[in-house]
Copies of this chain bind each other. A is one copy, B any other.
Amino acid sequence: MNAPHPAHFESSTSPFPMNRWWIAGFSWELKDKPVARKILGRSLVLFRTPDGQVSALEDRCCHKELPLSLGSIEETGLRCGYHGLLFSHAGACIEIPGQEIIPSKACVRRFPLMERDQVLWVWIGRTASDLPNDEPPHYSFHNDPDFEFGGDCYHYDAPYQLIHDNLMDLSHLGYVHTKTIGGNPKVHMNAKLSVTQEGDQVNVIRLMPGSVPPPTYTAAWPFKGLVDRWQEVEFHVSHVLVWSGAMDQGSGSFDDPHRVGFHMRGFHGVTPETEHSTHYFWTIANNPQPGRDNVTQLVVDQTAATFLEDKHIIEAQWKNQCQFEERSTLSIHVDGGPNRARRVIERLCQEQVTT
């Protein structure tokens, strides 16, 4: 009955699974200015040099500690905005104005950064010598000719696991998102639910045959009446994939991966900024209906509004959790998915404490 209180778990010395790839942003963010971003408690500066190369360095000049993100991008690296020290992609100081010798200590820590399908992935090792032994995953819907997408980065004043909870239990749609992707709350709460797990991946499938389509759906697709609606959620430690959609009632099978109808593919990069704040990097891709303009923009706009509703709820929830003393909470039927995801994170954090 009692779920572990979030505050309890966070008192652990390692609140995030380290030594893995986390999402640091999107490709289109790196233009002519460096970007400051704190990831898992580390202050980073992200930048792209004119030759297209991307880099993540500690956001602190080794001379007087000015954030390097206040500096300027040059052909060969990033120059500090105070006394002009120049740093390469690898974090080595390659110029100290006013002196010829560059001491070997003149460098800043570099964090491995990879760009894949417009997602920027950064490796946060427990120490500087913990380096990646794998590559970050691909995400095909950013490169699929049948889909169009848009997205944004939101900042949350709440710990990352509250966002996992939210994404892993979509039963809240009927109460929180009545204006966009909601629908009849009772249908949501009573949806047929399946929760499975493969390693660190948790899958939640919710099927709502014969539903009334919600506002965003009818605006985006010419449904004839009731719909067979699905939500398939894949939890990964660093991100959550949500495949949702609907087809005219009886027009296809939930078992057919190529089924007809309206499809939305949500990408949710949930990256801790600190123990108590989170970056939420999201995109939403949809299969636009031929001959109907602006549907993608509509879907992106309504998704943006929907996610702001979640942010409002989750930040209020966190503020309340901070305010009340550590007390047990009630688990209910729909918490199955979220609780599985929490156990994955908890185990990974404990493993890194003991190793």
Q: Which residues of A contact B (CB under 8 A)?
A: 1, 43, 59-60, 62-67, 70, 79-85, 96-99, 103, 105-106, 165, 169, 171-172, 174-176, 185-186, 188-190, 313, 316-317, 319-321, 323-324, 329-334
CA gap between A103 and B2 in the complex, in Å? 11
Once A105-B1, A317-B66, A330-B105 are accepted as A-B contacts, the answer to whether A82 and B175 lie under 8 Å apart by CB is: yes
Contact A320 B67 (CB under 8 A): yes
Residue of B whose beta carbon sits closest to that of A6: B65
In the bound complex, residues from chain B placing their C-beta under 8 Å from that of A96 are 332-333
A221 to chain B, nearest CB (A): 27
What distance in Å separates the Cβ of A271 from its nearest Cβ neighbour in chain B?
A: 18
A175 lies within 8 A of B83 (CB): yes
Chain B neighbourhood of A333, CB < 8 A: 96, 98-99
User: Are A171 and B83 within 8 A (Cβ)?
Assistant: yes
Known: A82-B172, A176-B81, A332-B83. A320 touches B66 (CB 8 A): yes
A/B interface sample: 19 pairs, CB < 8 A:
A43-B320, A43-B323, A65-B320, A66-B316, A67-B316, A67-B317, A70-B316, A79-B175, A82-B176, A83-B169, A83-B172, A83-B189, A84-B185, A84-B189, A85-B332, A98-B189, A98-B334, A99-B333, A103-B330
A19 CB → nearest B CB, Å = 20
How many subunits of this chain does the assembly comprise?
3
Contact of A63 among B98, B174, B324, B329 (CB under 8 A): B329
Closest to A333 in B: B99
Report the separation of the CA atoms of residues A190 and B95 in the bound assembly, to the nearest whole angstrom: 13
**Chain B: which residue is nearest A80 at the CB level?**
B175
Contacts of A98 in B (CB 8 A): 171, 189-190, 332-334
Extra inter-chain contacts (4) besides given A84-B185, A97-B188, CB under 8 Å: A65-B324, A70-B313, A85-B332, A99-B333
Known A-B contacts A82-B176, A98-B334, A190-B98; A64 and B329 likewise in contact (beta carbons under 8 Å): yes
The distance in angstroms between the C-alpha atoms of A84 and B190, with both chains bound, is: 13
A190 surroundings in chain B (CB, below 8 A): 97-98
For A60, give its contact among B106, B189, B320 (CB under 8 Å): B320
| Neighbouring B residues of A1 by C-beta, 8 Å | 103, 105
Which residues of chain B are near A174, meaning CB under 8 Å?
Answer: 84, 97
Smallest CB-CB separation from A310: which chain B residue?
Answer: B82
B171 and A330 contacting across the interface, CB-CB below 8 Å: no
Tell me the minimal C-beta distance from A304 to chain B in angstroms. 20
Decide if B65 touches A317 in the complex (CB within 8 Å): yes
CA gap between A232 and B79 in the complex, in Å: 27
Q: How far is the CB of A203 from chain B (nearest CB, A)?
A: 19
Give Cα distance in the complex from A105 to B331, angstroms: 11
